[in-house]
Chain A
Amino acid sequence: MKRTGAQIVWEVLTREGVSTVFGHPGGAILPVYDAMPAYPVRHILARHEQGAGHMADGYARVSGDVGVVTVTSGPAATNLVTALATAMMDSVPIVAITGQVPTTLLGNDAFQETDVTGVTQAVTKHNYLVTNIQDLARILREAFYIARTGRPGPVLVDICKDVLNDETEFVFPEKLDLPGYRPYTGLDMDAVEAAAELINQSHRPVIIAGHGVQMAHAENELRQLAEKAHIPVAMTLLGLGDIPETHPLSLGMCGMHGEARANKAIQESDVLIAVGMRFDDRVTGDLDAFAPNAKIIHIEFDPAEINKNVPVDVAILADAKEALQALLGKVNPARHQNWMAKIEEWNHESQELDILNAEVDELIPPYVMRQLWHVTQGDAIIVTDVGQHQMWEAQYFLHDKPRQLLTSGGLGTMGYALPAAIGAHYASPDETVWAVVGDGGFQMTLQELGVIMQERVPVKIAIINNGFLGMVRQWQELFYEKNYAGTPIQSPDYMLLAQAYGIPARRVTTKEEVVAALEEANSHEGPYLIDFQVKEEVNVYPMVAPGEAIDNLLRRRIVQGPSGLQPAW
């Protein structure tokens, strides 16, 4: 049957299982929008293309499948770049469809023309420019295949407008031919044996678990391995939930703002098993001083990540689930009592420095995060933005489930949370979704409140409002002699803002109001916004200064409190 290019877009998308797309129409993509109503898809109109991209990202992270975004040419496509880069860094499968000027105008600096494939080359797993309708169905199929297989990532398809209007016989390409794309090569059992031998001989083993564990749905295998061989598990920011944080073998988050016990355990380990993580500098700190005595086993899907930052002793090139299953059969049951006792010592020391153990009457952000955990009973999807609140959430909300925390880990994209939370809702409408944002990041994409209004998206918003770009201020305090240049930030009246969008809202200024406000929001059926006006200058601790070894931690000071010595805040 004859189909237009625009119809082919929807024919392929619906066959790929797409039911929700996020986007913003415009001139060059108009044929796609014109054809849309005939297909069983829901379109969510973002207020800015970056928002549409983050929505697709949030949708993908929660559903585990491809998120789709459709926007027009030129400025729309360039607005999308930040969202693509965010997804690229965190290996999130997205297919972005952009309209392009007609082939006859390509390269002429036509109205709303940008070299989109050129611009997005470095921030996509792959991209295509479609100039012939005969290639369209195949390219769209390839885009989905490439986005979701191997190490997932964003794929962009830029389609010229005349291709969308052109007609051809539609044939769904069942078979794909991508000779240069070999997402998987097979498990090397010799490497598994070598890894098992290292683990069996170790006395101070540590696992660092990353995002790859959740992408492979390997949480059970990870937990079984940790329990069988008695190995404590540190997690990267995106790995939180790989093993329940309330599990006795959980060390919590490691890295720049990781738990001291996690960082110290990594540094003193004799065997380090890195699973589905890529030794980001925020995880390793000073590479030359990283885990100096450890033999390193790296379980990773992407060959290019092996030996990229850290030279490894054994590399298992595989999906985390498959590798852990194989390893589980080869490791011996073990007990490392001395090692656990040592970790418990570090844990005890951390408790003394924990801000929640200070007698604080003021409203401090860590308290809000811990209460959010209590009120939701840990059963909610939390989407954080970037900065101090992101680290406090990671520290004080105990993530017991995988795919429960969405955050821009690699790129550190401020403005991510609100749109990504909207996308998360569409992927799992029955779960409660909380967007936890700072007053800085929120003001970058708050126009997406319009989507919440128009679609009645029941996302809960917690603004951690401290009047500063807080993490930048913290760096200025610690490394730039408190020169707070450019970091004080004023907010609008969020009550009035929420009212303008028809969203119920509440302002919280004291510690006493926190729980009631969270409960009200959490049990409210629709969207809800809380403006937590927290104490301004609170720092995230522990902290590893950039470039330092990860056990060289800046810690909270101990001061004289009303009833003796206590951590300062």
Chain B
Amino acid sequence: MTHDPSTFNKHTVIAWLEDKPGVLSRVLSLFRRRNFNIESLAVGHSERPGVSRLTFTVVGDDQMVEQAIKQLDKQINVLKVENVTGKPAVRREMALIRVKVNAQTRPEVMQLVDIYRASIIDVSLDSLVVQAVGDQDRLDSLIELLSNFPVTEMVRTGPIAMTRGRANGANGNGKHARRIAL
């Protein structure tokens, strides 16, 4: 099947994995072997002991993403896979950004941090470490602004995601809760 890059989109997928030795390596090796274009990947505990939760973003067309999900689901230690792209979901990523500052620029950086509801978690004479949490666009735009100061070090976690609950409870048939900027 031929793939037209102009039809590629970013997809967010959640996978629940058995927390056993070698499982993550198995998943990563599958992505590499099947040539899936993984942009980010975040893994950690879920609410169930023994089950880890992996959120990844993959770039491709619908067929490519369908393949990635099916191949993943075929793995014995993968419990469930869900594509949350296009579904009402919250996606959050965290970044730590070290910004070079001096006495003149420090207030300006602090102001930006304030506007973006980020926080400063480490201060020294010539730098600040900014902690920011948000969706990818929000972090992108903050980082772009901060890079004027400039940014000397940065780490991003890659997004984690969770589908939204419903207005009248998780099991109801009501509309999804109105999205509010929290």
Would you give the shortest CB distance from B13 to chain A, in whole angstroms? 15
Q: Complex Cα distance A308/B36, Å? A: 13
Determine if A287 and B1 form an interchain contact, defined as CB atoms under 8 angstroms apart: yes
Is A186 in the interface zone, CB < 8 Å from B? no
Nearest chain B CB to A283 CB, angstrom units: 14
Instruction: Enumerate chain A residues within 8 angstroms of B1, measured Cβ to Cβ.
Output: 287, 308-311
Contacts of A118 in B (CB 8 A): 25
What's the interface size class on A, roughly? 20 to 34
- Does B75 reach chain A (CB closer than 8 Å)? yes
Tell me the residues in window 57-77 of chain B with beta carbons closer than 8 Å to chain A beta carbons.
Answer: 63, 66-67, 70-71, 73-77
Cross-chain contact B2 with A287 (CB below 8 angstroms): yes
Please state if B74 and A304 are interface contacts (CB–CB under 8 Å): yes
With an 8 Å Cβ cutoff, the count of chain B residues facing the other chain is 22
Report which of B25, B63, B76, B80 forms a contact with A178, defined as CB distance below 8 A: B76
Residues of chain A contacted by B71 (CB below 8 angstroms): 304
CA distance A181 to B73 in the complex (A): 9
| Assembled-state Cα–Cα distance A307/B29 (Å) | 22
Let me know if A180 and B75 touch, CB within 8 A.
yes
Question: Given A122-B29, A146-B76, are A303 and B2 also a contact pair (CB < 8 Å)?
Answer: no
A562 within 8 Å of B (CB atoms): no
The answer to whether the Cβ of A107 comes within 8 Å of any Cβ in the partner chain is no
Whether a CB of chain A sits under 8 angstroms from the CB of B117 is no
Report A440 CB to chain B, min CB distance, Å. 28
A272 on the interface (CB 8 Å rule)? no
Whether a CB of chain A sits under 8 angstroms from the CB of B175 is no
Q: B97 contacts the other chain (Cβ, under 8 Å)?
A: no
Beta-carbon contacts under 8 Å, B1-41 to A? 1-2, 18, 21-22, 25-26, 29, 33
Nearest residue, chain B, Cβ from A304: B70
Q: B43: CB under 8 A from chain A?
A: no
Chain B residues with Cβ below 8 Å from A129 are 21-22
Is A179 interfacial (CB 8 A cutoff)?
A: yes
In the complex, the answer to whether A302 meets B74 with C-beta atoms within 8 Å is yes
Closest to A308 in B: B67
A308 CB, min distance to chain B CBs, angstroms: 6
Whether B66 lies near A179 (C-beta < 8 A) is: no
Whether A121 pairs with B73 at a CB distance below 8 angstroms is no
Neighbouring A residues of B77 by C-beta, 8 Å = 180
A146 to B77, CA, bound (A): 12
Per the bound structure, the CA–CA distance linking A288 and B2 in Å amounts to 8
Smallest CB separation, B124 vs chain A (Å): 40
Q: Is the CB of A303 within 8 A of B70?
A: yes
Cβ of B45 to closest chain A Cβ, rounded Å: 17
Q: B18 to chain A: which residues have CB within 8 Å?
A: 179-180
Closest B residue to A117 by CB, please name it.
Answer: B22
Q: Which 3 A-B pairs have the closest CB atoms?
A: A304-B70, A180-B79, A126-B76
Known: A121-B25, A287-B1. 17 other contacts (CB 8 A): A122-B29, A122-B33, A129-B21, A129-B22, A179-B18, A180-B18, A180-B78, A181-B76, A287-B2, A303-B73, A303-B74, A304-B70, A304-B74, A307-B66, A307-B67, A308-B1, A310-B1
